[in-house]
Amino acid sequence: MSEITVPDIPYVLNIPTSTQTFPDGKAWRLEIPSVEGPAVLAAVFAEADKYGVPIDRISQGSGIQLLTDAEITDMVQQCAARNVECCLFVGPRGSFDIGAAALASNGGALKGALRGARQLSQALEDIDRAISLGCHSVLVADVGLLAILNQKRIAGQIPADFIIKVSVLSAPSNPATASVLAQLGANSLNVPSDLSIAEVAEIRAATSAWIDFYIEAPDDVGGFIRHHDIADLVRVAAPIYLKFGLRNTPALYPSGKHLEAVAINCGIERVRRAAIGLEHLKRKAPSLVRS
């Protein structure tokens, strides 16, 4: 049998490099999502110290309404001590409400939407409480709420440096939608993690809003694992938050003491996955590694 030869075909990504950065000059930041309470947060920080993972943001998914005042204060203080953004999800949402549409097989787009003026008012109450307890960043999934928050920020009714992050439940998958959400006030946009590198670059070309990208996505948003793409994503999409979710885990939302041990273990593994991802980045693009 003759020897099989494999041609040397290098992978070349011919997409322009982004020249944008975060205000501090960084091309990327790192986010650990699904940090469901102070105990999970403490475990995440301890694991980050073990691996030397530079966490810039943590986000929570169960909602402000399911945290006590003391728990929010604890999380805000833990993050402030490390100069880490503490982003809390707005509590009310379609999937928690009494309507059944969000539970239908084609109701995915409704899961994060607010139902009626009642839930919209509850969401604003949620955010006001979080702000009063020191929170400066929230995760929203409703376009109307996004617009109202931006109006309140412009009017000085909420802090000028308040960060509005759009949830993956409302993720823009094309540059036009991304641009509209940014114009409505979004500082940070979760984009679908099944987008190609070229499609992510298209979104970057359309807006200066930060891009949030699940390098590893939870099962309920696709379960994609894209560690090998990290260097290309940073190159074409900066400024970008590298998010490390976790595939093959039990559903955590809404979380609480009954799931705390699971949430802690999942948080610890997310940090380990982040450490793995940063090793990929170091091998493929040493110049992009942060000290």
Q: Which of 8-12, 31-35, 83-87 has the lowest mean pLDDT?
A: 8-12
Which of the four pLDDT bands, split at 50, 70 and 90, describes residue 104? low
Residue 109: the pLDDT is 55
Determine the Cα–Cα distance for residues 129 and 70; give it in Å rounded to an integer. 12
**pLDDT single digits (tens) 269-289:** 999 999 999 999 999 999 998
Residue 229 clears pLDDT 80, i.e. is over it: yes
Q: Which CATH class is domain 31-288?
A: alpha beta
Q: What is the pLDDT of residue 97?
A: 75
Mean residue pLDDT across the chain: 92
**For the segment 159-194, what is each residue's pLDDT rounded down to a tens digit?**
999 999 999 989 999 999 999 999 999 999 999 999
pLDDT of residue 12: 66
Q: Is pLDDT of 264 > 70?
A: yes
Question: Does residue 105 have a pLDDT over 60?
Answer: no
Give residue 291's pLDDT.
Answer: 63
Question: What would the pLDDT profile of 197-209 be if each residue is shown by its tens digit?
Answer: 999 999 999 999 9
Domain ranges for the chain: 31-288
Taking only the tens place, the pLDDT of each residue in 120-164 is 999 999 999 999 999 999 999 999 999 999 999 999 999 999 999
Confidence of residue 98 (pLDDT cuts 50, 70, 90): confident
Contacts of 211 (CB under 8 A, 6+ apart): 188, 189, 191, 200, 203, 204, 237, 239, 240, 241
| CA distance linking residue 225 with residue 247, whole number of Å | 8
Spell out the alpha helix ranges (H) of the chain.
38-51, 69-82, 116-132, 143-154, 175-183, 197-206, 230-237, 260-284
**Percent of the chain at pLDDT exceeding 90:** 82
The residue with greater pLDDT, 89 or 94, is 89
Cα-only R_g, the chain: 19
Cα angle, residue 233 at apex, residues 82 and 27 outer, rounded to 5°: 40
User: Dihedral of the CA atoms 144, 134, 37, 270 (nearest 10)?
Assistant: 80
Q: Quick one: CA dihedral 246, 250, 253, 254, positive or negative? A: negative
What pLDDT is recorded for position 147?
97
DSSP states along 33-83: ----SHHHHHHHHHHHHHHT----EEEE-S-GGGS-HHHHHHHHHHHHHHT
Q: What is the largest CA-CA distance in the chain?
A: 77
Residue 275 DSSP label: H
pLDDT recorded at residue 11: 67
Q: Give the pLDDT score at 251.
A: 85
